[in-house]
Amino acid sequence: MFKENWSIVTIARNYSLVQMSNCFVCDISKELFEKIETDLSSQGFVLSKPNHTIFQAKKTGLSCTLYQSGKFTVQGKEKEDFIKFYLEPNILENLSYSHPEMLTFLEPHIGVDEAGKGDVFGPLCVASVFADEQTITTLIKIGIKDSKRLSDETVMKKSKEIMAICPHKILAIHPEKYNELYEKFFNLNHLLAWGHATVIDSLYQETKCDEILIDQFTHEPLVENALKRKALNLHLSKRTKAEDDVVVAAASILARAKFLELLAKLGEPYHLALPKGASKETAKVCKDLYKTHGIEALQKTSKIHFKTVQEIIHS
């Protein structure tokens, strides 16, 4: 439950926008006029100055006009990429065009997310990230979003950017330890709650931020109870699709990056590229690994309680 003065907002800096058919229109503040003109010139646009404009810029597939009133229009078949990769992160500092569902809390808070819980192979990774208003704006500007929307290559790149600017904690539970803990908890949600509480506690001790946002993976108060066992009295909020919050999205990227890094290492002793997920390909690799290296290899690389693994072991 966030405090009453928390507001869910879409970041907006110095502009308002509308979308008219195939033409994108927004208002730009005067202090950005020179920057836009310089940027577009360096990007290969040909600039002219029709009446009532600051400039008009054109290149193949794209036309932009900045009017003296501050109205800025974009049209052409390359409009989408121009808005997504230049205008939003560098000028508007807003993702409301490319990601209209992106909502975030501006107040300082800790976001938490996990990766690997649905993957047969690899660890379970849980990450927490702290950001204040200034850092939140930076995260939005550099294009941070839910890791599921990003390629593995982009996840690895963005994780380094996040770690450079945000206090964070990552808990990586390798398969051997995961299997041991699962026997203790005998429930994935209880294990997840323990992992969430662990990274929350660790980052809270560093930042003293008591506002926490996590993705709601269960309706039971499992994380709340895990925090109470650590004698922590924090303001915990749970939300479905919490990755729409940029701080939780940042946590999802760190968790995913660590998962990918460790998944690759786990396959090295067996000269295998262990697959993600729980597909037919995963089942085949799991079966081959079991036949060649036995149950010990599965204990070191996979989540033993998964149905895919159990069927292979008991077939």
CATH label of the domain that carries residue 78: 3.30.310.10
Considering only CA atoms, give the Rg of the chain.
23
Domain that holds residue 308: 268-313
What is the reported pLDDT for 274? Answer: 95
What is the reported pLDDT for 100? Answer: 56
Query: What are the distances in angstroms from CA 178 to CA 181, 192, 202, 289?
Result: 5, 11, 20, 19
Specify whether 116 is located in the same domain as 248: yes
Specify whether 111 is located in the same domain as 245: yes
Contacts of 164 (CB under 8 A, 6+ apart): none
What is the reported pLDDT for 217? Answer: 87
CATH label of the domain that carries residue 167: 3.30.420.10
Specify whether 148 is located in the same domain as 118: yes
Q: Is 6 contained in some domain? A: no
- Ramachandran category for residue 11: left, alpha or beta (phi over 0 → left; psi -120 to 50 → alpha): beta
Longest dimension (CA), the chain: 78
Chain CA centroid to CA 31, Å? 31
Distance CA 34, CA 46 (A): 15
Distance CA 298, CA 176 (A): 9
Distance CA 233, CA 224 (A): 9
What is the reported pLDDT for 286? Answer: 94
What is the reported pLDDT for 94? Answer: 65
What is the reported pLDDT for 21? Answer: 46
Mean pLDDT per 10-residue run, the chain (315 residues)?
43 39 83 93 95 95 94 93 86 68 73 95 97 90 87 94 98 96 90 96 96 90 94 90 89 97 96 92 93 95 94 88
What is the reported pLDDT for 196? Answer: 97
Closest by CA to 295, choosing from 275, 315, 268, is 315
Specify whether 258 is located in the same domain as 279: no
Specify whether 303 is located in the same domain as 255: no
What is the reported pLDDT for 315? Answer: 80
Specify whether 298 is located in the same domain as 177: no
Number of structural domains, the chain? 3
Q: What is the dihedral of CA 61, 66, 71, 72, to 10 degrees?
A: 30
Distance CA 193, CA 221 (A): 9
